[in-house]
């Protein structure tokens, strides 16, 4: 979904979450966990795990995590408490039954990783994360060179044919394929999600496809973080507010 399609600036918080016939789709970083300087610094949290475990039971499994992280990283941070996961922005899909499918990696990914690492070597605050299906340039540690990071990612994408996935202080080059929105749609064709009203919580541009998908399918998106143009219709201030909203579900 392009930025030009974002059409709403929500400021109203959602009403208390009613779980009956709801299906929850949750981003991870910036939504369930505060964003850390380095992705590996995000750790399991007992309160978050307890909230998700209780929701899993009360929703009869109608909960999925839809994240840009790898499947292994999601399971590490959430202590394996959520079976249904779309990882690497939808390129890896694990259904509620535990079956995993994933896209074939783009052949130019090693070239892209090498190029981004050369660029990051000249910018000591930047990190490159190789997710096998995508390559991510993190510039949170060097924000003054964010425009240079964006330009380099776009240059490498043009050379390799990889898709550009902008995010919060990151530029990701990913294998073309399913998006977060596609993953939501796939979940909703399968048990136990089929027939439920979808709700998507996310914080940044990588979540817009998810917001748009649930809107098309009769549900709604909730933006976590400052107000901005988005396809979501409601907003929560931050991760703590998101966890409190989920914790108070009835």
Three-class SS of residue 33?
Answer: strand
Residues near 26 by beta carbon (within 8 Å), at least 6 away in sequence: 32, 63, 64, 65, 66, 200, 201, 202
Helical residues (DSSP H) of the chain, grouped into ranges: 46-58, 71-78, 109-121, 146-160, 180-187, 208-216, 239-247
d(C-alpha 231, C-alpha 237), whole Å:
16
Give the side-chain half-sphere CA count within 13 A for 59.
Answer: 32
Q: How far is CA 44 from CA 79, 82, 102, 152, in A?
A: 7, 13, 25, 33
Element counts in the chain: helices (H) and strands (E): 7, 12
User: Do residues 42 and 77 make contact, with C-beta atoms less than 8 angstroms apart?
Assistant: yes
Catalytic residues, by residue number, are 27
Residue with tokens 């990051």: 120
């Amino acid at each position: 979904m392009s930025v030009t399609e974002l059409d709403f600036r929500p400021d109203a918080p959602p009403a208390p979450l009613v779980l009956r016939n709801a299906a929850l789709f949750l981003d991870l970083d910036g939504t369930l966990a505060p964003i850390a300087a380095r992705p590996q610094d995000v750790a399991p949290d007992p309160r978050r795990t307890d909230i998700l475990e209780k929701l899993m039971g009360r929703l009869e499994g109608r909960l999925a995590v839809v994240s840009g992280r790898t499947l292994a990283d999601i399971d590490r941070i959430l202590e394996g408490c959520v079976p249904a996961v779309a990882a690497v922005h939808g390129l890896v899909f694990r259904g509620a039954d535990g079956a995993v499918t994933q896209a074939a990696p783009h052949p130019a990914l090693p070239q892209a990783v090498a190029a981004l690492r050369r660029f990051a070597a000249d910018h000591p605050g930047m990190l490159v994360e190789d997710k096998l299906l995508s390559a991510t340039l993190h510039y949170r540690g060097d924000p003054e060179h964010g425009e240079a990071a964006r330009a380099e990612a776009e240059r490498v994408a043009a050379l390799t044919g990889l898709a550009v996935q902008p995010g919060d202080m990151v530029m990701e080059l990913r294998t073309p394929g399913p998006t977060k929105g596609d993953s939501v749609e796939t979940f909703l064709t399968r048990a136990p999600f089929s027939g439920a009203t979808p709700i998507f919580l996310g914080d940044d541009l990588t979540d817009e496809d998810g917001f748009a998908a649930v809107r098309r399918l009769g549900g709604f998106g909730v933006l976590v973080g400052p107000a901005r143009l988005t396809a979501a219709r409601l907003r929560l201030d931050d991760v703590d507010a998101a966890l409190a909203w989920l914790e108070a579900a009835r």
